[in-house]
Amino acid sequence: MEVLRYSAFTKEARGGNPAGVVLDARGLSSADMAAIAKEVGYSETAFVLPAEGPELEVRYFSPAVEVPFCGHATIATAVAYAQLHGTGDLTLSTKAGIIGVRTQMDAAGWCAATLTSVPPRTAEVSDAQVEDLLAILGWDASELDPDLAPRAAYAGAWHVILAAATRSRLAHLDYDMPKLTRLMEQNGWVTVSLVWRESGTVFHARNPFPTGGVFEDPATGAAAAALGGYLRERRLIPLPAEVTVLQGHDMGRPSSITVTIPEEQGTGIGITGTAVPI
């Protein structure tokens, strides 16, 4: 059993979000996978279980818990698989549903992967939930972008979206991990998606992930897909659209995620990125 290490949403190993990838996890129990993910120590490790049919089963483990879907580990897995078997289309069976992935070489010779998320949806968050979240983050309600209302969003996992009015507010992140973990577990949020809108199609993001045993995730594809669904459902962007999410810069691991948002409601969101071996 070999654990590959890739960094996703970057072209440099020192950037992006590292992921562990096990391309053949047959024979491993859930406890084995959890132990391996904890030892690897990345925000997620993906375990591929080859099936008899065209689908590949993939499970994702953080150091602390199994999660239903992980965008950056999916990109890393697809690129690692392509480098072994060649580029093309993959169908991944995850606990969040079926995920289609296409790998291809870009014009510069990098292997890029595009996943199509499960159908996204959003849900309201109460004033009390927002107040609790702001208190834990040390934010004030006056520091929020009034045009991007707080909301929970899903594209494989639930993320609560909180939009800062300024880049400087986003740049300063400090919170109590146990308190935020409890709030997230109570509400079923996998990460908190903190964003700032630089322009109509460029967003900066930070994603606290204490439920996974990680203070901050440097590139979160699932949250970027959820953001795409949120923007479409709330009609906050002309459609169809392509959005760039810049993440990880504040923690020294710059990442770039391309989000493709189709016009039709209920269709999956496209997430594109490169990945490189570490």
User: Quick check: 19 and 44 in contact, CB under 8 A?
Assistant: yes
CATH code matching the domain that covers 121-266, chosen among 3.90.1150.10, 3.10.310.10, 3.90.420.10, 3.40.50.2000: 3.10.310.10
Q: Which CATH architecture has domain 4-116?
A: Roll (3.10)
Q: Given 44, 185, 216, 242, which residue is catalytic?
A: 44
Token pair, residue 159, equals: 């993320």
Locate the domains of the chain by residue range. Answer: 4-116, 121-266
The question of whether 57 is a catalytic residue gets the answer: no
Residue 213 main-chain phi, psi, to 5 deg: 80, 20
Helix (H, G, I), strand (E, B) or coil at 101: strand
8 A C-beta contact, residue 222 and residue 155: yes
* C-alpha span between 75 and 225 (Å, rounded): 13
Tokens of 71: 């965008």
Structure confidence by residue, pLDDT tens digits, 149-177: 999 999 999 999 999 999 999 999 999 99
Does the fold of domain 121-266 match that of domain 4-116?
Answer: yes
Contact 9, 258 (CB under 8 A): no
Q: Distance of alpha carbon 275 from its chain centroid, rounded?
A: 14
> Burial level of 165, CB count in 10 A (0-12/13-18/19+)?
middle
Distance CA 64, CA 45 (A): 11
What are the beta bridge partners of residue 46? 21, 60
Q: What's the CA gap between 167 and 160, in Å, rounded?
A: 19
In the structure encoding, which two tokens stand for residue 250, read together?
């504040």
Amino acid at 11: K
- Distance, in Å, from the CA atom of 57 to the CA atom of 103, rounded to the nearest integer, reads 17
What is the C-alpha to C-alpha distance for residues 114 and 260, in angstroms, rounded to an integer? Answer: 10
**HSE (CB half, 13 Å, CA atoms) of 5?**
12
Give, in order, the Cα–Cα distances in Å from 1 to each of 26, 33, 51, 54.
9, 11, 17, 22
Return the SS3 of 165. coil
Please check whether residue 209 is in contact with residue 70, taking contact to mean a CB–CB distance below 8 angstroms.
no
CA separation, residue 247 to residues 47, 65, 78, 180 (Å): 25, 23, 21, 20
Q: What DSSP character marks residue 267?
A: P
* Per-residue tens of pLDDT for the chain, all 278 residues: 899 999 999 999 999 999 999 999 999 999 999 999 999 999 999 999 987 767 899 999 999 899 999 999 999 999 999 999 999 999 999 999 999 999 999 888 899 999 999 999 999 999 999 999 999 999 999 999 999 999 999 999 999 999 999 999 999 999 999 999 999 999 999 999 999 999 999 999 999 999 988 899 999 999 999 999 999 999 999 999 999 999 999 999 999 999 999 999 999 999 999 999 99
